[in-house]
Structure 1
Amino acid sequence: MPVALVALALGGFGIGLTEFVIMGLLPEVAGDFDVSIPVAGYLISGYALAVAVGAIFLTAAVTRLPRKKVLVSLMFLFIAGNLLSAVAPAYELMLAGRILAALTHGTFFGIGSVVAAALVPPNRKAGAVAIMFTGLTTANVLGVPLGTFLGQALGWRSTFWAITAIGLVALVGIQLLVPGAKVDADVAPTRLRAELTALRHPQVWWTVAITILAFGGMFGAFTYIAPLVTEVSGFAAGTVPWLMLVFGVGLFAGNLFGARMADRNLDATMLVLLVGLTAVMAAFGLLAGFKVITVVAILLMGGFGFGTVPPLQTRVMTYGGDAPTMASAINIAAFNVGNALGAWLGGLTIAAGLGFTSPLWVGAALAAVSVVLMATAAATKPERRADTAIPTPVG
């Protein structure tokens, strides 16, 4: 394994912690700023929308710049956003800090995915992308529970101070470990017009739509997991970090499983995972009042949901042709458009008085539509295509 992948994973860890830890601290943040849970949820959906904007427009602005310099610059912006979140005296400034940090997210993972894939042989590209995203899953397995513990014990601001420090460590790691000369030689900067050719292939758009629906379903449901498990399942507030840990274990296992299976057959893997995700959320919606079932459902929801990340990202880069950077970034944007859509729809159903299980039903419906789209995409794909081949971009 190239040591550069460790540096990319470290950056992914910090970014993943920023995105997800707020879910476990939502009641504390809402109480501190004296806003409702649905309004506090905008800190999640606002972050996700900013990721989508940054993934497309920021990536477009840096396509001709050296990849390592871009990654280092993004980490500086990430640190600034989290520092603002940590000191924000008002809800609006907290939201501004979240947006600032979020602008780096999509471009980091978009460019990072291409760099990771270029560092390994063709038959290991999905695995390399998965290693980079392991930082994201590790953030959920270890970072989010610990961040939630820290936030509950010392106040939620302490968590964002910790994330700021992690960002500094990640910055140093990328600067020292990513081989700039090799990356810039193997992944030459491209013109924006060349990158936009990725948008011409219908399978890119099929994949983007599937990403929005699948992640909209999973994270729309998970956004409100803290009030769900305390108000419906009957868990004490102190158990929320442990349930976040369970979810993180599911993400970690799903990421590894999805990568391994995707290197064998992308589309079949996607169908299995999406059907599983739909079934789990529907069952969770029916049986959320049972504690044991809640724990199992949280684990499986994370596993089936995040198992789709390596195959989705690999698929969009495959069909992105000789310019996969924009396709990769657009799909990262799609993940977060889905997050925002799901969180928004879930908040609407809660505000409408449908209860804290209603986001699970919204999630199951979105995931079910993604199954239909995936089956259609698989049936209409070009006959001659290697599922595991990701072309190396050229200048």
Structure 2
Amino acid sequence: MEFLDLFVVSLNPVLKTLLITVVGLLLAIPRIDILGDVARHHLNNVVYYVFNPALTGGSLADTVTATSIVSLWFMPVNILLTFILGSGLGWALVKITRTPEDLHGLVVGSCAAGNHGHLLLIIIPAVCEEDNSPFGDKLTCSANGQGLVSLSMAINAIYIWTYVYNIIWKYGNLSGKDIAKASTISIDCSGRTLDMFRENYTEALLQSRQSSFNDCEDPDDEYSEVQEHNIAVEDVPEKKETLLTKIKAHLEALSDKINLKMWFTPTTNATIVGLLIGVISPIRKLMIGDHAPLRVFDGSASLLGQATVPAMTLIVGANLLKGMKKSGVGVWLMIGILAVRYVALPIVGFGVVKAAQHVGFVGSDSLYVFILLIQYSVPPAMAIGTITQLFEVGESECSVIMLWTYGMAAIALTLWSTFFMRLVS
């Protein structure tokens, strides 16, 4: 393909994303106020619980079969490597630039999670439609490309909502830090109410505090009783820990650090359902295809899924209004994120995929190899904006990062696509 043709192919989806971002920004302006704080919150919940699961599950059910999922085993490994390598580079970046702690999760997540689905759903079919495409017949290329990108999108969604979600949650969960400080608060026991506790403290914590101090008469007596209790506990000989006790302690410590509930998000559940529908032949025949008796369910999921990308992009654009007024993203931090996503990761990814191809893990399918390579050079995943909106932390900074990374993608993604396409052709 000519460089100019490829440039236009890669530029169009990025420009579409930027234009929708501008629309979201305009809708958030106070004079219009269609996407204000409340509206963004509700729209974000619709994306999280409805649109994104419908897109992921529906695409998988349509395109993935038992045969294809076995032959493409290296793709989950490849995407996992992009997350691991990107996280390492992102962690080094926040240390070098001395990024504020509450933004560590956002920066690491932006370096780790790439847009392995929504952007490729536009780029790959466009590349296949070119007359001189190196990937063969147009129809075959488009069908195979849709299946590969759908699997990439589903796997990426699992990693984002289990790995990146927990990283941003860990650094942005301010309530957890407040609860930790609660043990140092001096509680007034002369009344029946517990002061200085905010609404985000759990009911269990409140009950434990009430049961501990409901009989005390004044702060001095409470303090002396706690001191005597601590001395008594120190005098009790420690019991020998069993292996089961140690395992239980480690699991409890792990559950405190990682939000295990988010391993089964709506998107993850939809991925499992989509895989089961696609892999199990009797169910597939019932729901997938022009003559399937239950095809209306697949059609409904596809219709809902089409709203995912526009809705997510509008939210990012609306959040950008705050970022234009004030943002914690410095110049050097932004340059660092761009360098990680468009320089370091593509170079490392090139070596990873070539090594995998050399030992026979990948095969000789040029389109498959191209998608594996391009996964290292895409901008950050739009779902990061959804996560920051859920936690209400780093929303404006996330929008600034998205604006610059997607703006630079018009050049960087085009150049890397040109190089990778010539490499596999």
TM-score scaled by length of structure 2: 0.30
Report which structure shows greater RCO (CA 8 Å, sep ≥6): 2
User: If you compute each CA radius of gyration, which structure gives the higher value, 1 or 2?
Assistant: 2
| More helix, by proportion | 1
